[in-house]
Amino acid sequence: MKAETSSEKAKPFRLVKYFTFTSLVVIFFGTVVLAVSNTRWARSLQLNKSEDYALVLVENLNHQVFLQFIIPTALKYGKIQLRDQEQFEHLDRVVRSTLHSFKIETVNIYDMSDTIAYSYDKTLIGKENAGGTSYQNAVSGRTTSRLIQRGSLLRLVLGFPEASRLITVAPLRAEKPLSRISGPVIGVVEIVQDLSGDDRRVFHFQILVILTCSIIMGLLFVVLLLVVKRGERIIEQRAQERLRLKEELARARHLSALGEMVATISHEIRNPLGIIRSSAELLKKKMAGNGNAIPDIIVEESSRLNHIITDFLNFARPRQPEFKTCRIEEILEKNIAFLESELAENGYSIHLERAEALPAITADAEMLYQAFLNLLMNSMQAMPNGGDIAIGFEKGESTLTVYIRDQGEGIAEEMLDKIWDPFFTTKEKGTGLGLGVVQNIIKAHQGKVRISNMAAGGALTCVELPRNQEEPHAERAHR
């Protein structure tokens, strides 16, 4: 029943937890996808920037080559022949000085017959038909760029190739003085940029973004896990508390109905019982001196039955306490004085700890007297062959606790929770209402009572009472 109730209460929370974790996983993968998409977008921007950068370099190189090499060489030599070592070195100085400090891996210059006339790599000079489609487009006046990447398939898919190069092929034009209109195409220039470093930086940025997202999601997961665990504990505690309250309510309803029945029956029994006892006492007087013990037995058993009925009524209809200032040690001394003859006759002794400066409390002294009398008699009954009972005290900030220790055999563990049930008793004689009456009295005083077994043997009864109670208005006015 308890497990089913806890499971039913936890079902809505399990659904919330499932959707929460699912949302967290979806958000994480969505963040990773977004990070990869952003990285690809950044790489695309970087490529466009590199293409624009290459166009600027080509335009600047075209200008410098035409002004510093083509015109001076044509005036000096009448024609351009790069097979001439002096002309080649002059062009090489112009190209290298123009592209100095720029990240350019290779520069190739083609003539109009698709032959490499100049290159950083001297082994390529004189190579024919090396331009391909890009060369044809440049001769037609169009500039093209293409990205070449090398690496394994996995590296290419993940976006971090081993090497990445951007090849830009553009026309080399003659420039018209004092005019922005470019002249005819006189050759083709090919510039190769090494973008591997840029790709590595973008990839490192991508890794940083993913790691950051992973750390944030991990922290969110840990926080969510702690919140979920705490929520589960709270729900479990509330479910247990709700179940306990339901059980207490059901028990209270049962006891209330039982109490009403007991009170009615006890009241109906008490009247004829009084008549029987009175008649037996009258009969005893008339038969005085005859040695007949029957009237004595009737009177004794009537008195015992009256005590039982009194216990029933005290349990079924507990009265409300009348709070007055009293001292707990004085109440216990009265209990000991009442039991004195029985203590001496049966070998019992009660040791009352003489604690100094015990605070006074506001309570109903008569009700506490009845409660402690029941507890002391209970301890005595636990020691049929006699023994010692110790009474101690403990002062709290707002409470006063009374400890009663006996030397009996203690209480079986499986019975500790049952001793407070009405009509439950392990004794041959008794109603099983003594501890129930004690519990009602202590609860009426907003206190607590519990019984446990001591490691050294015997039972320990703890009664915790508040030191101050609200007194009725009439009582305060009387004072």
Residues paired with residue 466 on neighbouring β-strands, in sequence order? 399
> Residue holding tokens 């037996």?
280
* Residue ranges of domains in the chain, CATH in brackets: 2-208 (3.30.450.20), 321-478 (3.30.565.10)
Helix (H) or strand (E) holding 173: strand 163-175
Say which amino acid occupies 5. T
Query: Are the C-beta atoms of 127 and 115 separated by less than 8 Å?
Result: yes
Q: Has this prediction a pTM greater than 0.95?
A: no
**Distance from C-alpha of 211 to C-alpha of 216, rounded to nearest angstrom:** 9
User: For residue 100, what is the DSSP state?
Assistant: T
Using only C-alpha atoms, the chain has a radius of gyration, in whole angstroms, of 53
Dump pLDDT digits (tens) for 415-432. Answer: 766 666 665 566 655 555
Tell me the two tokens of residue 364.
């109903």
What is the structure's pLDDT at 418?
67
The pLDDT value recorded for residue 17 is: 67
Residue 477 tokens read as 């006015």
Cα separation, 458 vs 130, in Å, equals 107
* Beta strand 116-119 pairing with 104-110: antiparallel
Which DSSP string do the residues of 228-290 spell out, in sequence order? HHHHHHHHHHHHHHHHHHHHHHHHHHHHHHHHHHHHHHHHHHHHHHHHHHHHHHHHHHHTTTS
Angle between helix axes 434-444 and 294-316 (nearest 10 degrees) is 40
Nearest C-alpha neighbor of 350 from the set 362, 342, 358: 342
DSSP letter (8 states) at residue 421: S
3-state secondary structure of 296: helix
Cβ neighbours, 10 Å, residue 18: 10
pLDDT score, position 429: 58
Please check whether residue 184 is in contact with residue 171, taking contact to mean a CB–CB distance below 8 angstroms. Answer: no
Amino acid identity of residue 370, one-letter, is: Q
CB atoms within 10 A of CB 209: 18
Residue with structure tokens 């179940």?
243
| Grouped pLDDT means (10 residues each) for the chain, 479 residues | 48 65 76 73 80 85 86 84 86 87 85 88 86 87 86 70 84 68 74 78 76 80 79 82 87 72 69 75 71 72 71 65 88 89 84 80 89 87 86 88 86 70 60 73 88 83 84 42
